[in-house]
Chain A
Amino acid sequence: MANKILRKLTGITLSAVLAAGMLVGCGGGAAAPAADGAADASAPTEAAATEAAAEASSDAGSDAAASGSGEMLTIFNSKMEIQDQMEAMAEKYSEEKGVDVEVYYSSDTVAAHLSTRYASGEPYVLSMVDAKDIYSLAAEHALDLSDQDWVKDTSSAIAVDGKTYGFPVCVEARGVIYNADAIKAITGKDFVPADYATLDAFSALLDELKAGGMETPVGIMKEDWSLGAHYLAEVYEQREDPDAFVKALNDGSQKIEDDEKFNSLMDTFDVLKANNYAAASAISAEREVTEQKLAEGEIAFMFGGNWDWSVINAYDYSENMGIMPVPQNTSDGTNEKLVGGGSKYFFIDSSDKVTDGQRQAAKDFLNWLVYEEGGQNFLVTECALVPAFSNITLAVADPLGASVKEYADAGKLIDNYNYLPDDHYAVLGAAFQKYLADQSDRAGFAGEIDKYWTSATLAEH
């Protein structure tokens, strides 16, 4: 009899240990993907499934419990370079305004990360996303912000079907970043970007720099987003009607190789490529190394945007840097303008997982950014962003941002084209890398672009 009880007890203990073991295992697994959006193909299904496990074990996913409480304002930040500032701001804001602010960051693709949060039923109250995400998310997930005061003070807000959904975080623009000090050290003259707007003048300057001892004055980022989404995209953007052009590429009536703008920009790219410091290993050049060389004046030019400041300022940078339009032999004025506009947008979640109180807290936060000194300071001084609101007059702290603001204030910005298909940058970025590595010529590259567009599905808008 005693034996029997003993055996039963052992059995219960064993199975309890087993169950506890399983739960501990799951608890760890549940917390991880929610917190950092583990780069895993099955992440959303995992997150959905582990919800069940999270209910069973009380210690799993502490942030899951937190996001459900009271007036917690959860903010998703997708700008890695301002995460530290965001966290410091959250602490200060919480103290001053009595609203609990939590800031999250993920290095995942924005859409991928948000989809895991939606799959697990824990959306952020306020999410910072890219323009194209607003178009795909707005109708179902975003709150209509048309009645907010700040709408009248910006030209960059995103509206879909007449309703404003996206709050522009900042203005960003692309062009050729230059190191004026490095140029002056060789030419002896102050560098005036406007003098080198044409490719001929620009090439002559490169030759002068080379003669003066800077053997390779240019750096090229090999990243597919830089080549595909930033440089190649200018081919679509630097024209009257990008939509019509893309549609023509899509139905095959326009071949990219016949396009003047494509050839003009590729002519410039050829000059950049010929002067690339990493010509022999163009596609293994590391971004940090390139930007360090630019910052320290070993090279003088690199195609990029004002976001590159977050990399450059990690090094011993020169005082006088800035962004100029991509030089081209053209008379259409595009070589006097940067390409860019609003970048990164906040939207407020409209689902029933978020309370009206939380939504109000998010609206207050956005107004704080635009209209209160603390918010303006945070955006412009602490994060060194170029504000997208006309009422903010604070001077932009970093030289690249100051350049962009100058062009923006003068109305010399060509708008971003936000409707490229999602796989555009990856597929054509890879084709562009081949061109950069001399594994295909211009005709081959153009052929790949034509082929891509004729089989692409255009984003609806």
Chain B
Amino acid sequence: MDKTKMSYKVSQFLMFAGPAVILFCGTVIIPFIYGLYLTFTSWDGVSKTKPFVGLANYAASFSDTAYWQALVRTVIYSAFSVILINVVAFLLAYLVTSGVKGQNFFRAGFFIPNLIGGIVLGYVWKFVFNRAFVAIGEAISGGTVPSLLSTTGGAMFCLILVSVWQYAGYMMLIYVAGFMSVPESLKEAALIDGCTPSQAMKNVTVPLMRASFVQCIFLSITRCFMVYDMNLSLTKGEPFNSSVMAAMHVYNQAFTYKNYGTGQAEALILFVVCAIVGVTQVYIGKKGEVAA
């Protein structure tokens, strides 16, 4: 059989990638295109007719101040969360690869928050913030202490704290793999050549782990931008809708306020913003990658 023939290549491709491609189209590409179509209609979600309205939904999205406030809020939340998640994850990874006693136990321990779903995690922390912290605060100060979740700044702080707690363990695993992939011989050579351990870390280990950084930052950015479950169970947008993130606003717009088309258009804008940020970050990150 001639392996350079087109038919051979096509059949090989179909055999291996065919099922995946079909399913990917069915569950991602087609709904995406259908969703795009819906942004041009004023569908309410249940009606049989989908009146075509052109770009009206995009106009509505651009004049929806609550949406842009939510988007700005999401950017701020993501910026803090992404930085903290990665700093904490890197330090944890360093800790659990440094040969500290019981490091496998710590690895498992730090990873566990990630196994709890966002909804459950939100309710657990809500209890901690509303009852446990308040009780401790009242015991110390002797007066009544309002819950952190009842102030606008406090709610944002809680969201960031819980996200860091949840994702740091997951990103830690990727950094652990990064640490392990740096050959001992290189680090040893650097030390013999007179580097201090911190110089070796900065000039040898970290540059060789660049791929881990790119991956972790990409994952944390996309997850933070799309946050919904924890937002719903921890703050539900309260107080006074001041902690409504972009995804939650999109959901409310589409389902609660029944402006399906506008919600879909806003979701698309969120997707574009997220894609631009993610792709830029990966592009910049990949450019300077060094091969070990």
Interface string of A247-281 (1 = CB under 8 A from B): 00000000000000000000000000000000011
Given the complex of chains A and B, what is the CA–CA distance between A282 and B257 in angstroms? 27
CB of B92 within 8 A of chain A?
no
Segment with Cβ contacts to A, from B15-23, B173-181, B188-196 = B15-23
> Which residue of A has the minimal Cβ distance to B1?
A4
Question: Is B225 an interface position by the 8 A CB rule?
Answer: no
**A44 CB contacts on chain B under 8 angstroms:** 45
Query: What 1/0 flags go to B35-63 for Cβ under 8 Å of A?
Result: 10010000011111000000000000000
Contact A18–B256 (Cβ < 8 Å): no
CB nearest to B253 among chain A residues: A423
Task: Tell me whether B240 and A39 are in contact (CB under 8 A).
Answer: no
> Which residues on B sit within 8 Å (CB–CB) of A421?
257
Contacting B at CB under 8 A, from A382-412, are none
* Contact status B256-A284, CB under 8 Å: no
Q: How far is the CA of A387 from the CA of B288 in the complex (A)?
A: 72
> Among the listed stretches A9-17, A65-73, A194-202, A359-367, which one makes contact with chain B, having 4 or more residues with CB under 8 Å of it?
A9-17
Task: Kindly provide the distance from the CB of A453 to the nearest chain B CB, expressed in whole angstroms.
Answer: 15
CA distance A286 to B146 in the complex (A): 13
Pairwise interchain contact B255-A11, C-beta atoms closer than 8 A: no
Inter-chain CA distance A1–B256, complex, in Å, is 64
**In the complex where A52-B26, A283-B238 touch, is A115 in contact with B130 (Cβ < 8 A)?**
no
Q: How many A-B residue pairs have CB under 8 A?
A: 133
A39 close to B229 (CB less than 8 A): yes
Residues of B1-34 at the interface with A, using a CB-CB cut-off of 8 Å, are 12, 15-16, 18-20, 23, 26-28, 30-31, 34
Q: Does A437 have its Cβ within 8 Å of any Cβ on chain B?
A: yes
Q: How far is the CA of A423 from the CA of B254 in the complex (A)?
A: 11
- Other-chain residue from A39, A52, A284 in contact with B228 (beta carbon distance below 8 A): A39
Given A42-B267, A109-B256, A281-B146, do A15 and B247 touch, yes or no (CB 8 Å)?
no
Q: Which of A11, A112, A114, A434 contacts B16 (CB 8 A)?
A: A11
A433 within 8 A of B: yes
Query: Chain A residues with Cβ under 8 A from B23's Cβ?
Result: 22-23, 26, 53
B258 lies within 8 A of A53 (CB): no
B256 & A280 in contact (Cβ 8 Å cutoff): no
Interchain CA distance A15-B23 in the complex, whole Å: 13
In the complex the two chains form, is A423's CB within 8 Å of B27's CB?
no
CB distance from B131 to the nearest CB of A (A): 9
Q: Is A46 an interface residue (CB 8 A)?
A: yes
Q: Any chain A CB within 8 A of the CB of B224? A: no
Residues of A within 8 A of B19 (CB): 15, 18-19, 22
Distance, CA A199 to CA B48, complexed state (A): 50
Q: Which residues of B contact A136 (CB under 8 A)?
A: 44, 46, 258
Q: Assuming the A-B contacts A15-B16, A39-B232, A433-B240, are A280 and B26 also in contact, with contact meaning beta carbons closer than 8 angstroms in the complex?
A: no
Q: How far is the CA of A131 from the CA of B256 in the complex (A)?
A: 15
Chain A residues with CB under 8 Å of B48's CB are 140
Q: Are B16 and A18 in contact (CB under 8 A)?
A: yes
**Which A residues lie within 8 Å of B15 (CB)?**
11-12, 15
Kindly list chain A residues whose C-beta atoms are within 8 Å of the C-beta of B263: 41
In whole angstroms, what is the CA distance A136 to B43 when docked?
A: 12
Q: Within the complex, what minimum Cβ distance (angstroms) separates B251 from chain A?
A: 4
Instruction: Flag if B130 contacts A422 (CB, 8 Å).
Output: no
The answer, among B16, B134, B247, B256, for a CB contact under 8 Å with A422, is B256
**Which of B30, B44, B252, B258 is the most central at the interface, judged by chain A CB atoms within 10 Å of its CB?**
B258
- Asked whether, in the complex, the Cβ of B241 is within 8 Å of the Cβ of A426, the reply is yes
| Contact call A41/B247, Cβ cutoff below 8 A | yes
Binary flags per residue of A408-451, CB closer than 8 Å to B gives 1, else 0: 00000000000001110011001101100101000000000000
Residues of A within 8 A of B239 (CB): 283-284, 430, 433-434, 437
Which chain B residues border A15 with CB–CB below 8 Å? 15-16, 18-19
Judged by a CB distance under 8 angstroms, whether B149 is at the interface is yes
Q: How far is the CA of A12 from the CA of B35 in the complex (A)?
A: 35
B63 to chain A, nearest CB (A): 10
A109→B146 contact, CB < 8 A: no
* A281–B134 CB distance below 8 A: yes
Query: A427 CA to B64 CA in the complex, in Å?
Result: 13
The chain A residue sitting closest to B19, CB to CB, is: A19
Q: Select one of A14, A19, A50, A115 contacting B46, CB under 8 A.
A: A115
| Bound CA–CA A439/B242 (angstroms) | 13
- Please tell me if B162 contacts chain A, counting CB pairs below 8 Å: no
Q: Which residue of A lies closest to B239 (CB)?
A: A283
Other-chain contact of B256, A23, A26, A140, A423 (Cβ < 8 Å)? A423
A430 in contact with B26 (CB, 8 Å):
no
B250 CB-CB contact with A under 8 Å: yes
Residue B144, interface by CB 8 Å:
yes
Residue on B nearest A435 in the bound complex, by CB: B240
Q: Considering residues B23, B46, B260, which has the most beta carbons from chain A within 10 angstroms of its beta carbon?
A: B46
Choice from A29, A224, A284 contacting B149 with Cβ under 8 Å: A284
CB neighbours (8 Å) of B47 from chain A are 140
Which residues of chain B from 80 to 132 have any CB-CB distance to chain A below 8 Å in the complex?
130
CA A276 to CA B47, docked complex, whole Å = 44
Contacts of A11 in B (CB 8 A): 12, 15-16
* Residue of A14, A50, A111, A282 with most partner-chain B CB within 10 A: A111
Chain A residues, CB < 8 A from B238: 222, 224, 283, 430, 433
Contact A284 B146 (CB under 8 A): yes
Report B-chain residues with C-beta under 8 Å of the C-beta of A82.
Answer: none
B215 at the interface (CB under 8 A from A): no
The CA-CA distance from A282 to B130 in the complex, in Å, is: 12
Can you spell out 24 A-B residue pairs with CB atoms less than 8 angstroms apart?
A12-B15, A22-B20, A39-B229, A40-B228, A41-B267, A42-B267, A52-B27, A53-B23, A53-B26, A112-B255, A115-B45, A222-B238, A280-B145, A280-B146, A281-B144, A281-B145, A281-B147, A282-B150, A422-B257, A423-B256, A426-B257, A427-B241, A430-B239, A433-B238
In addition to A41-B251, A112-B255, 14 A-B residue pairs with Cβ atoms within 8 Å of each other are: A12-B15, A19-B20, A22-B20, A23-B23, A39-B228, A42-B35, A45-B35, A49-B31, A52-B26, A284-B149, A423-B257, A434-B240, A437-B239, A437-B240
Residues of B participating in the A interface, judged by any CB pair closer than 8 Å: 12, 15-16, 18-20, 23, 26-28, 30-31, 34-35, 38, 44-48, 130, 134, 144-147, 149-150, 228-229, 232, 237-241, 247, 250-252, 254-258, 260, 263, 267
